[in-house]
Amino acid sequence: MASIKVGIIGGTGLDNPDILLERTEKRVITAYGEPSDSLVCGKIGNVDCVLLARHNRQHGVSPSFINYRANVLALKEEGCTHLVVTTACGSLQEHIHPGEIVILDQFIDRTYRRECSFYDGKEGHLKGVCHIAMGHPFCEPLRELLVETVKSLNISCHHKGTVVTIEGPRFSTRAESKLFKSWGADVINMTTVPEVVLANEMGLPYAAIAMPTDYDSWKEDEDHVDVELVRKTLKKNSENAMKILKAFIPKLATTDWQPILNSWKERAEKAVFA
Ligand code: ADE
């Protein structure tokens, strides 16, 4: 059975290192620069994990300026075999309520000022052009196990969901929010792209636990989103993210991941035109 190590990228208000036992902290630097924060290495159950705060625990890095490449590469170089991430988001659908969980399965990319490939032709970076397949950006077996875990905890869970990732840092106008909703998107955030794309380029199976905190700006009978609303809902629900990870990670170790790791690696390698 393949040995595993799980990289956990924690979103705003969801990056508490107390979740790990036997913690050690480590600052690293990659060929693509510095990750958002120190890596916190430790264990959940018997499973080795590495936690990274996406926005930095002290300073708060804006979504456009997060070094997504350094974050993903740092976790890969630390030996992580999987990436499981948390992300706050807005809900674009009436039936997805703040406080529930959405296990993402698709994205729509509305970002425009981010480095979205490791293969950029620059000195010291990966060579060639990477046309990574994106039909299924999220790892299906990881998703299934997450859904099973969330259900077993009696937390209300949507089995799939399309996220629109916007550039931010501003929230959407009502017109934009209604447009995204009319496209059939389920939730909205500022960070899934390019993080998931880069995990795919690195051959790292990736899954995301999305936590709706608000109804964005489309809903006539609700306050539109603001920072206070996001903070308030996250405070109420961040315990759920911890509970899910604590139950989920030990379950991961009971599966033989080798065939899945092999297929993600092979897909990433085949995507590169050298
Ligand atoms: N994060 C939390 N709520 C959000 C929203 N409505 N739009 C974008 N990112 C968010």
Choice from 55, 191, 214, 229 to test ligand 1 binding pocket (greatest atom count within 8 A of CB): 214
Taking the C-alpha atoms of residue 33 and residue 65, their distance in angstroms, rounded to an integer, is 12
Report the atom number in ligand 1 closest to the C-alpha of 171.
7
> What are the Cα distances from residue 17, in Å, to 20, 31, 95?
6, 26, 32
Cα angle at 240 between 100 and 42, to 5 degrees?
140
Strands (E), 120-205: 129-130, 157-158, 162-166, 187-189
Does residue 48 carry a catalytic annotation?
no
What pLDDT score was predicted for residue 28?
A: 98
Residue 55 is assigned to a ligand binding site: yes
Q: H-helix or E-strand containing 50? A: strand 47-53
Profile the chain (274 residues) by mean pLDDT over runs of 10 residues. Answer: 92 86 97 98 97 92 97 98 97 97 98 98 97 98 98 97 98 97 98 98 98 96 87 88 96 95 98 93
ipTM exceeding 0.90? yes
